[in-house]
A and B are shown apart, each in its own frame.
Chain A
Amino acid sequence: MRREIPPDSLKATEGVRVRGSLVRRSAVLSQLSQLSQLRLLPQLSLLPMLLLATLTACGPGDVAAPSGPAAPAAADATFPRQATTDELVTLRRAEDILVRRCMARAGFRLPTAPEPARTGTEPPPMALVLADVPWAREHGYGSRVRTPGETDRLRANDPVGDYLRALTPQRRGEALRAWQGGGVDTVEVTLPDGATTGRSTRGCTSEARGELYGDFRTWFGADSVDRGVTSLAMSRAQSDPTYTKALRRWSDCVARRGLPHESPGALRAALGDTAPVAKEVEYAVTEASCAMDSGLAAVAGDVEERHLADVRERYRADVTNARRMRLAALPKAERIVRDENASRQNTQKNNTQKNNT
């Protein structure tokens, strides 16, 4: 049911259309001129050299054991290794700390947010399908599904949100601009699937990322494309004939068990992100045991790796840069987190002493 565009807005829409096509064409032209004149940023032209250094220094022996059960395919060994989940957590924490300091400089002393609850073991890979029955029986889908109580508690314990809501609307607007840059001085990049994504280079979030990873613009492009590579590969894997053939058997299997859904994605969507534990476990176990019984588990890993390798190869420079920049940022991130923890402990100690006297 589309709403008809009222006649009086046609003129405006016409103007928009012309403007839209002009914008698009000029974007293409600027890309052309960038390519033909190789007017790349100095940082960008440096990166291939870094990349080469990485490639020569990083043989298969340097590839750390992945944190997930999926073994890296041989093709992946020609890239710098992926950061482990623990390392990503450190990077995320360091980024948060830098953002908080930046917001304090801008006049907003954000209260300490509760540490995100990363409880339990790291989940097995489940981008395409969850295939680990014992894990499913114990953890369901892990932290991606919460009980209603957990969701309520999460929403209730939001000191930063409370702080923001207590500000005047004007101050709140200022806080958001300080944080996210207010939509000015944006950069954008074309993702592997063709979509254009962008964000402001201003604001504490982007500033913190620039500080941590060396250069925000380069980081934004590399990180966005790297994530886009995974998304595109997953999309392609799901339409791969080998996968879809096994998927039909999986779908029959879950239907026989009372959950008639076409794909793991559809099954999870039906469950939602908030569900009682028993229901979550029922869905997860059904997904996983049918993955084993139907043979979907056996093909999913291969199909996924094949498409990942294919798309990664096409975006080798971006994937390499993103991984390289994460690894390069780690020592700094660890230092930032360590210093922050130390100063927090000192503060707590001082407070305790004060309370005791």
Chain B
Amino acid sequence: MNMKRYVRGVLATAAVIGLVAGAAPAMAATDAGPSATAAAPSKLGAPTPVRPGADLSALAAADGADGYLYAYDLPNFSGDWCRWDRDDEWWGNDCGNFNDRATSLWNNGFPGYFSEVALRRDVSPSTNQSSFCIEAGNYYADLSLGYEKFLDGGWADNAISAHRWFTDDADYIHDPHYAC
């Protein structure tokens, strides 16, 4: 039985409720093109709302000296989890196999050098490898709601297999993922 799939079903339903209301990720729930996304935020002429977020303080409290990348099996930092404070090219060996499982993430790494994390889809260069990045301090609460997360447009949910820390010293606006 796949508990996670069921959970995603519940959340997808919630996302649809959000879409109908015109408040949730208007472009996320469908890829049907401009006409189907009439409820996009800018139609309201207002910026995308910023809302109170998750309380992550309990996650890191167990370890005074933190600096880890955290990954959770379920949305909103719940379920099985794993964490790393250095590069790992294969999550399959970690925390009883964390390959293709992460749905929420928090980069609680130290700012400065090697503070950003590139999350990779596949570990073998011969396969369809891609990545996306998370800045130190930021979190992704629910990858199952976004459907275009890797740089090549592929789903990021349950698809991360590896990561590496890197330094973004070339923050070019024309290509925010230049160094990612």
Please report A residues at the B interface, Cβ cutoff 8 Å.
Answer: 1-3, 5, 9-10, 13-14, 16-17, 19-21, 23-25, 27-28, 30-32, 34-35, 40, 44, 47-48, 66-68, 70, 82-83, 85, 88-89, 92, 99, 113, 116-118, 122-123, 125-127, 142-144, 154-155, 158, 160-161, 164, 169-170, 172-176, 179-184, 186-200, 203, 205-206, 217-218, 220-222, 225, 227, 230-232, 234-236, 238-239, 262-263, 265-266, 269-270, 272-273, 310-311, 313-318, 321
Residue among B113, B114, B140 with the most chain A CB within 10 A? B113
For A312, the closest partner residue in chain B by CB is B42
Question: Closest approach, in angstroms, between the C-beta of B91 and any C-beta of chain A?
Answer: 11
Nearest opposing residue in chain A for B147, CB measure: A194
A273: which B residues are within 8 A, CB to CB? 164, 166, 179
Q: How far is the CA of A125 from the CA of B56 in the complex (A)?
A: 37
A196 engages B141 (CB within 8 Å):
yes
Pairwise interchain contact A20-B111, C-beta atoms closer than 8 A: no
Contact assessment for A170 and B171 in the assembled complex, using a CB-CB cutoff below 8 Å: no
* Residue B14, interface by CB 8 Å: yes
| Given A83-B173, A118-B169, A195-B149, also A225-B137 (CB < 8 A) | no
Q: Is A127 in contact with B177, judged by CB distance below 8 angstroms?
A: yes
- Interface bracket on B: 35 or more
Q: Is the CB of A31 within 8 A of B54?
A: no
- The 9 A-B pairs with the shortest beta carbon distances in the complex, nearest first, are A194-B28, A183-B56, A195-B146, A186-B53, A116-B169, A194-B25, A173-B64, A188-B53, A235-B153
| In the bound complex, CA of A318 to CA of B18 (Å) | 20
> Residues on B close to A: CB < 8 A?
3, 6-7, 10-11, 14-15, 17-18, 21-29, 34, 37, 40-57, 59-60, 63-67, 74-76, 78-80, 92, 96-97, 99-101, 106, 108, 110-114, 120, 125-126, 128-132, 135-143, 145-149, 151-153, 156, 164, 166-167, 169-179
Q: Is the CB of A32 within 8 A of B21?
A: yes
Q: Knowing that A203-B137, A227-B176 touch, tell me 15 more A-B residue pairs with CB under 8 angstroms.
A: A5-B3, A31-B23, A88-B173, A123-B178, A127-B178, A180-B136, A187-B50, A194-B25, A205-B137, A235-B153, A313-B42, A314-B27, A314-B42, A317-B48, A321-B47
A-B CB contacts (within 8 Å), total count: 345
CB distance from A204 to the nearest CB of B (A): 9
Least CB distance from A11 to B in Å reads: 11
Nearest neighbor of B6 in chain A, beta-carbon distance: A17
Which residue of chain B is the closest to A103 with respect to CB atoms? Answer: B111
Task: For A144, give its contact among B14, B42, B120, B179 (CB under 8 Å).
Answer: B179
Residues in B neighbouring A189, C-beta threshold 8 A: 48-51
Partner of A198, one of B101, B139, B175: B139
A68 to B152, CA, bound (A): 22
